[in-house]
Amino acid sequence: MINVTVFRNNNQIKAFELSGHAESGPHGYDLVCAGVSAVSFGAVNAVLTLCETDLEIEQGSDGGFLHVTLPDTLDYQVMEKIQILFEGMIISLETIEREYNQYITIQSK
Q: Which positions are catalytic? A: 21, 33
| DSSP secondary structure, 24-69, as one string | SSSTT--HHHHHHHHHHHHHHHHHHHHS----EEEE-TTSSEEEEE
